[in-house]
Amino acid sequence: MDSTMPESAYYFIQQLLNGLTVGSTYALIAIGYTMVYGIIGMINFAHGEIYMIGSYVAFAVLAGLALMGVDSIALMLAAAFIISIIITSTYGFAVERVAYRPLRNSNRLIALISAIGMSIFLQNYVRIAQGSRDIAMPSLITGGWTFGPADEFNVTLSYMQVVIFIITLITMTLLTMFISKSRMGRACRACAEDLGMTRLLGINTNQVISLTFIIGAALAAVAGVLLGLYYGVINPYIGFLAGLKAFTAAVLGGIGSIPGAVLGGLILGVTEAFTAGYFSTEYKDVVAFSLLVLILLFRPSGILGKPEVEKV
Amino acid sequence: MLKSFNKKMAVFTAVLAGTAALGSASIASAADSIKIALAGPVTGPVAQYGDMQFIGAKMAIEQINKAGGVNGKELEAVVYDDACDPKQAVAVANKIVNDDIRFVVGHLCSSSTQPASDIYEDEGVLMITAASTSPDITTRGYELIFRTIGLDSMQGPTAASYIINAVKPQKMAVIHDKQQYGEGLASSVRDEVKKAGINVALYEGVTAGDKDFSALIAKLKKEDVDFVYYGGYHPELGLILRQSAEKGLDVKFMGPEGVGNKDISAIAGAASEGLLVTLPKSFDQDPANARLVEAFKDKSEDPSGPFVFPAYSAVQVMADGMKLTSSEDPEKVASSLRANNFKTPTGDLGFDGKGDLKDFSFVVYQWHADGSKTALTK
């Protein structure tokens, strides 16, 4: 980096990095909303809670490994991700079977209420089982890089932020490949196009829908592990705000569109960081949601959402 | 299909009803007893403060009953959970009135106490809060609302005078959580230090429940402040401390008693070392309370929380007021509270016309990473 850059440029870069980190995690959670909406046209309001459960499972795994005396960071991370993804996906699958499938052919409003009920149920279930206090997660990945002059404002980029970018990128790439290349992915796209027709053509749509919930929950688990480690604190209420922000990101990018969810997440994260950085932290949410209203006024289907294009 | 759905609904309704019943749990039930409602958060993010209040009040009730009760009757605690949520606090207050309880120790959060106290005053219920420090609660000319803790308007000046005289920052920031308690304190500190000529470069609110403060921290770094006062509770400040350490922001922080509990060290870890906190005097360190501290320890309860002893005192003055007037009429007890002085574990307490303590002092402590603290002022 050029050492003659003015302080304001470093500040800009710092806020951009802050925004992209938050935005990446919004994107991971937003995909769960957008995939479910793309296929069955329903908003899964319990998705934020699924993310919260992902964090709790990761905590339990890390605590368990620490008790057993495991201190290899790579092993701990791998175990946290794998076990969290498996257990959280099971929750995603079970939520769909219990709360949504019986209501699939009823009025959409009923499924929505069921989703809100599921969200309240999961939140309180974790609260009663785990207690309502904040739980501190161990920081596995510490340290980072510093750029810029030592005596003036300098940019810090923590290793954890880099890990978040990289894992988000890998996850997105895998998902895109799965959707565009695999047989199951093709079935997902077909269901998004026309659920009834796909069923007539002999594809087990129930299976596809279950898979959608499992993928969404797995991504939420990834976000849960990453954010739990990044912020270091979890409680049963973290799913609400995170779910709301991710839902906003999904709508902003065009609900039903996977690239839209990613773009929406990043735009939301960066907008929040810049509002907090250049204006005031108090107006962070006001500006972010005003942006949502504006975009929806001019593009009702979101930035990348085009009703006639395939959506998953 | 419809039948199985109905069956599921029935189970669901039963579960809901079960959950609602958890809302209020009676501790003991005697035929001839005076019920005291203990209202505060049993659940929710600040439940540990509720615990402090509940263990203090229950200990007082236990000891008063052991010493023969009040007017020949036993005191009985009934716990109500407001989750520190103003809406739930109003529901709890109505439930207490419906349950025909006329004495309340609570609530905890100022934003819950304020709407609940409207109901108590209207319905003739005597309420003493051991934890709500917002000045607004007692400025409405109410007869039945008291507190056994200091006010933000006292805590703010204690913090401000310490900042002005001991910290002497060149350029400071004041951050708050936009809630009644946090913002009230933050604005009082800001006004005081500004009067003393200290440059307050930044005055901003964060959202309670937020997890990411990186943008704010970058801003603090850019403004090059050397001291930060935070008005709010520990979940947010804990994260701010932790993220500041990660981002290389090396400044001293100060907060009110809302941040002063062991959870802040659990959240912030080593970054909580050196934090300044204004807290009520540590009543558990007072030699006069040694026996009471033992009693808490015998039950494996922690008497060091800031609201344990004020809650004990709240129950005690209530009982003393009933004894002095030989009645359980909230209005008579209230006028007796205003007219007399009471010897309690938190000192000799007297109430002014508004229902506030005539004298209450806050102390500045330095926090340590292991959750302990050292007093810096007397």
**pLDDT tens profile A227-238:** 999 888 898 989
Residue B136 has pLDDT above 60, yes or no: yes
CB proximity B223 to A under 8 Å: no
**Could you tell me which chain B residue has the CA closest to the CA of A134?**
B45
Q: B204 contacts in A (CB within 8 Å)?
A: 280-282
Measured in whole angstroms, the distance separating CA A156 from the mean position of its chain's CA atoms is 24
Indicate whether B23 pLDDT > 50: no
Q: Which of A11, A136, A281 faces B205 most closely, judged by CB atoms?
A: A281
* Of residues A49, A59, A241, the one with CA closest to residue B209: A241
> pLDDT value at position A142?
82
B9 and B145, same domain (yes or no): yes
Q: Are residues B118 and B198 in the same domain?
A: no
Q: Is the pLDDT of residue B378 over 80?
A: no
The answer to the question of residue B373 being in a domain is no
Q: What pLDDT is attached to residue B31? A: 52
Q: Which of B349, B296, B293, B284 is closest to B320 using CA atoms?
A: B349
Closest of B252, B239, B112 to residue B179, by C-alpha: B112
Most B CBs within 10 A among A133, A147, A159, hence the mutation to make, goes to: A133
Distance from CA of B195 to the nearest CA of A (A): 24
Q: Is residue B366 part of a domain?
A: no
Cβ <8 Å between A231 and B218: no
B339 in contact with A, Cβ within 8 Å: no
Q: By the CB < 8 Å criterion, does B246 face chain A?
A: yes
Could you give the number of structural domains in chain B?
Answer: 2
Number of structural domains (chain A) is 1
When mean pLDDT is compared across B70-74, B186-190, B206-210, B348-352, the lowest value belongs to: B206-210
- The answer to the question of residue B378 being in a domain is no
The label of the residue with tokens 């504006």 reads A294
Is residue A195 included in any domain, yes or no? no
Distances (CA, A) of A33 to A37, A89, B178, B302: 6, 14, 30, 44
The residue among A257 and B94 whose pLDDT is bigger is B94
Q: Are residues B168 and B219 in the same domain?
A: yes
Chain B environment of A156 (Cβ under 8 Å): 246-248
> Using CA atoms, how far apart are residues B154 and B160, in angstroms rounded to an integer?
10
Same domain, B136 and B157: no
Beta carbons of B233 and B258 less than 8 angstroms apart:
yes
Predicted confidence at residue A193, as pLDDT, reads 86
Any B CB within 8 A of A277 CB = yes
The answer, as to whether pTM is greater than 0.80, is: no
CA distance A226 to A160: 8
* Range with lowest mean pLDDT among A36-50, A140-154, B256-270, B309-323: A140-154
Residue A90 covered by a domain: yes
Residue from B267, A180, A256, A230 nearest A222 by CA: A230
Q: What is the pLDDT of residues A32-77, one digit of tens each?
A: 999 898 888 888 999 999 999 999 999 999 999 988 988 888 999 9
Nearest Cβ partner of A277 from B207, B209, B215? Answer: B215
Question: pLDDT grade, residue A1 (50/70/90)?
Answer: very low
Say if residue B107 is preceded by a cis peptide, omega within 30 of 0: yes
**Measured at the alpha carbon of residue A49, what is the angle toward residues A48 and A53, in degrees to the nearest 5?**
125
Assigned domain for A175 exists:
no
| Domain span including residue A39 | 29-145+205-298
Q: Which whole number is the average pLDDT over B143-169?
A: 91
Contact residues, chain A, for B45 at CB < 8 Å: 132-134, 235, 237
**Mutation choice for B interface testing from A12, A18, A137 by most B CBs within 10 A:** A18
pLDDT at B24 over 50: no
Q: Both B157 and B144 in a single domain?
A: no
A277/B44 touch (CB, cutoff 8 Å), yes or no: no
Helix, strand or coil for residue B156? helix
Nearest CA in chain A to B269: A136
pLDDT at B12 over 90: no
What domain range is B330 assigned to? 2-149+287-361
One domain, residues B143 and B292: yes
Residue at A167 is within a domain? no
Residue B242 lies in a domain: yes
The whole-angstrom distance between A181's CA and the closest CA on chain B is: 36
Question: What's the confidence (pLDDT) of residue B26?
Answer: 44
A194: in domain? no
B376: in domain: no
Nearest C-alpha in A relative to B267: A136
Range B85-113 average pLDDT: 95
Residues of B in contact with A21 (CB under 8 A): 212, 214
- Residue B167 CA, chain-centre distance (Å), reads 27
A180 within domain boundaries: no
Q: What's the CA gap between B35 and B155, in Å, rounded?
A: 32
Closest of A247, A265, A312 to residue A45, by C-alpha: A247
- CATH code of B253's domain: 3.40.50.2300
